[in-house]
Amino acid sequence: MTSHASDLTRLPAPTVPEKVTADGLEGKWTENWATSDVYAFNPDTTRAEVFSIDTPPPTVSGSLHVGHVFSYTHTDTVARYKRMRGMNVFYPMGWDDNGLPTERRVQNYFGVRCDPSLPYDPNFEPPHRGSATSIKNRDQVPVSRKNFIELCQELTIEDEKGFEELWRRLGLSVDWKHHYQTIGTKAQKVAQAAFLSNLEQGEAYQAAAPGLWDVTFQTAVAQAELEAREYPGFYHKLAFHAADGSDVVIETTRPELLPACVALIAHPDDERYQHLFGTTVTSPAFNVEVPVLAHPAAEIDKGAGIAMCCTFGDLTDVQWWRELALPLRSILAKNGRIEAETPEWITDPAGRELYAACAGATTFTARKTIVEHLAASGEMLGDPTPTQRMTNFFEKGDKPLEIVTSRQWYIRNGGKDFTRANAHMPLRDELISRGEELNFHPDYMRVRYDNWVKGLNSDWLISRQRFFGVPLPLWYGIEADGTVNYDNVLVPTQDMLPVDPTTDVPPGFTEDQRDQPGGFAAEVDIMDTWATSSLTPQIAGGWLTDAELFQNVYPMDVRPQGHDIIRTWLFSTVVRAHLEFDALPWKHALLSGWILDPDRKKMSKSKGNVVTPMGLLETHGSDAVRYWAASARLGTDTAFDESQMKIGRRLAIKVLNASKFALTMGSEADLDLNPINVTEELDRSVIGELVKVIETATNAFEAFDYTRALEVSETFFWTFCDDYLELVKERAYNRDGLWSAAQSLSARSALALVVDTMVRLFAPFLPFATEEVWSWYRPGSVHQAAWPTADALQVAAGNPAILDAASKALVRLRRVKSEAKVSPRTPYLNVTLEAPAALVPLLESSRDDLARVTHIQGEFKIVTSAEEEVTVSDFTLGEAPAKVKN
């Protein structure tokens, strides 16, 4: 349990600096928190005492942007609240440092590219270290895989230092003793062990099958990584030739795939092609005979209603190929070029000559060559027609994906029919049920999870043809004739993990058997970054590395993340926890929205519209930026708005100044925080309103509605500053001795209690300003203090309507002077307040404070009015007192 500061009700007079300022508080308190372990997780605990957070590990590939500050602040407010509620908060930080973004950054930063065929150079020095603005691929120096990985590790360590510095500056209450890298030893052990467990249970499998492929990054792409974008193209009308001499015209945007055509397909109900079903036609230019078949996925009203099926042009081709048992005639290589060797199925000499002219060419060049040939032969009808089509892209790529057949590894996720051993329903249904168990905040985000699971059409492709990542912990036996037998999978023992198959040896083999007949071959693919990130609760929680920690923090309490990665990170984490532990990885999912630029577009590094946060933190202060972030509710996309930060800075400064003012009204007197001393009705009224604020803010935080907690606290605070503090300051000071000691003490105690409560209510949002105020009068940290409770103040709680009525009267009495354009210190020689009958007794309770603060020197009447508002009548203003000259 968190050790809270003692709840003393009488403290020595506050030690307040002569001049208070919000500037410089970040440096002062960040260092203090680090040295005093304010946010340290206590390992001597029980699970019931712990609140654990599966913190998102940011991608370490450059710099953080303001969107990160936005969402991570949301989590931090919750962490700080739970800590003040007495929970032992487990708040780790991870760095997502593997995958394509890191590799691209390393290539650009150092001017290198990975060539696995090269030997390791222990003395290699990269040609650049961030000095070149743009290095083209052809100018990048090739290096060995090991050299490339070392450069990746070097740069990510430097990037992580910058990230940590910014997070500390923002005031994240992370326990920095608990951090990890998704490429680190601990993460590799967890990821490899989980994969091997999946393999043993039949939940991981390999398959040689057509899959989406990015020709730029030379890697397979999973369904969750797809992004549909519009792509310009042209429709070409091509004439296939029927046996009776007639032509069958199809329309295609990809004539370069004509050599890979295996069938023409139309809808079974399309009357135009009934007579052709079961017959064959020959393809234009290549003269390959292909069948005409029926399939319900063909679209009657699209183009000619009949389409050529190539292996493979798109995902529909894959569907037709599987369901109609069509031959495989792939002509696209992994580099996106036409295969060099002319296929055996093209037997026509003219067709073979045309293919040879396309061999080794890009799809663009091959398309141009084939289209020119078809135009000359008359087998293309008319000119190509421009079109915009939706095409699949890798979310990080800039070229349309191709479909290439390759051997890959998959984890079952309900995308295909599969029922686990001893399970009572298919895996897809199990995962849908898991989504129903999970608490989504906001709840309407639940449908995104549900729709994603129900819409899956393939299992999770986890292998990647890259270099910097967690290796798949596998080898394959090699037959006596030198053929790699991919069905003979060799795996490490648990105690060997983590392993790198390219340097480590499988059990029972020696290094000299690598790549030799009768020996073994290493798996060179790595795991998809999500295959590691899907295990963040297990990695951070110490699975396989710290059994006691894991028992105390797992399953975790919350997963905070963006709503845009429900289908990737949230779902994949649920899958891995379900397969390994048959349970959810956490109880709650907190889903933040996006930050939008002025054009209402999502901020992202790829779009080049991001704002970096350090300048904002320096200009406005961390508390101000946090205020802006916390003003946006979960799930809500929010426009970037510096004006909101200015409001936050004003609030932080007001917390400092108002607290100083309120705490020092007793001059050198002790600070009395005993609510029993609050005896005056107006003072009891402000405490009554404060009790309502505590209850509302607490209930809001319990529902993870930090925005509501901030709203209600801020609204009350400004009323306190603008009205109550002004109303009672004369009584609190009591310089002229017009009030009794008890009346003056009542005001000072109420002021101290409000400040003492407000700094705690604001602590999750404005950690620096509140810590500064706390240090003036209490030992320890406000962030280890107890969250305020309504019960502690009930003895002093009066009718909140008294303060509301007094505030209305104060506004009216001030307005009279403002409209008369006289000094606020101008006295009323007489004045009458008119108010509804219900408010008259309430105003009588604050008569003396109202008279003193508004300088009423003569008769002061409070009378009943038929009007619904408080009004001022029958007043006479005197002369403003002369200004005192220094």
**755-793 CB burial, b ≥16 within 10 A, e <16:** bbbbbbbbbbbbbbbbbbbbbbbbeebbbbbebbeeebb
Q: Each residue of 645-684: pLDDT tens digit?
A: 999 999 999 999 999 999 998 777 889 999 999 999 999 9
Residue 121: CB partners within 8 Å, gap ≥ 6? 143, 144, 147
CATH 3.90.740.10 is right for the domain spanning 228-399: yes
Beta strand 306-310 pairing with 141-143: unpaired
Alpha-carbon dihedral 165, 167, 171, 172, rounded to 10 degrees: -140
Q: What are phi and psi of 884, to 5 degrees?
A: -80, 125
**Position 402 confidence tier, pLDDT thresholds 50, 70, 90:** confident
Single-letter residue type at 666: G
Task: Give the model confidence (pLDDT) of 407-420 as tens digits.
Answer: 889 999 998 899 99
- For 548-562, the pLDDT digits (tens) are 999 999 999 999 999
pLDDT digits 0-9 by tens, 211-263: 788 877 777 776 667 778 888 889 999 999 999 999 999 999 999 999 999 99
Pairing mode, if any, of strands 112-114 and 828-835?
Answer: unpaired
DSSP structure string for 610-648: ---SHHHHHHH-HHHHHHHHHTS-TT--EE--HHHHHHH
Q: Residue 813 is inside which H or E element, if any? A: helix 800-819
- Binding residues are 605
Query: Rg (Cα) of the chain, in Å, rounded?
Result: 36
The single-letter DSSP state of residue 306 is E
**Contact in structure between 158 and 173 (CB atoms under 8 Å):** no
Q: Does pLDDT of 2 surpass 50?
A: no
pTM, entire model = 0.84
Residue 750 has pLDDT above 90, yes or no: yes
**What does the pLDDT read at residue 450?**
95
- Give the distance from CA 482 to its chain's centroid: 48
Give bridge partners of residue 884 from the DSSP assignment. Answer: none
Q: Please state, in angstroms and rounded to a whole number, the distance separating the CA atoms of residues 161 and 846.
A: 57
Enumerate long-range contacts of 45-49, CB under 8 Å, 24 or more apart.
45/1, 45/88, 45/552, 46/552, 47/551, 47/552, 47/553, 49/1, 49/87, 49/88
Q: How many residues does the chain have?
A: 886
CA separation for the pair 40, 344 (Å, rounded): 68
- Taking a C-beta distance cutoff of 8 angstroms, is the pair 783, 773 a contact? no
Question: What token pair was written down for 504?
Answer: 């480590």
- pLDDT, residue 842, reads 96
- Residue pair 531/413 in contact (Cβ under 8 Å)? The answer is no
d(CA 413, CA 416): 8
Q: Label residue 4 by pLDDT band (50, 70, 90).
A: very low
Binding annotation for ATP: 605
247 vs 393: CA distance, rounded Å: 34
Kindly report each contact of residues 37-42 with a partner whose C-beta sits within 8 Å and lies 24 or more positions away, as own/partner.
38/173, 38/781, 38/783, 38/784, 39/83, 39/89, 39/91, 39/173, 39/174, 39/175, 39/783, 40/175, 40/177, 41/88, 41/89, 41/90, 41/91, 41/175, 41/177, 41/178, 42/1, 42/2, 42/88
Show me where the domains of the chain are located.
Answer: 228-399, 473-524, 821-886
CB neighbourhood size of 226 (10 A): 16
Q: How far apart are CA 323 and CA 317, in angstroms?
A: 10
| Cα–Cα distance measured from residue 761 to residue 697, given in angstroms and rounded to the nearest whole number | 8
Q: Which amino acid is at 320?
A: W
pLDDT digits (tens, 9 = 90+) for 383-398: 999 988 778 887 667 7
- Residue 1 confidence class, pLDDT cut points 50, 70, 90: very low
Could you list the beta-strand ranges (E) of 506-612: 520-522, 526-527, 556-562, 586-592, 595-596
Secondary structure percentages of the chain, helix, strand, coil, to 5:
40, 20, 40
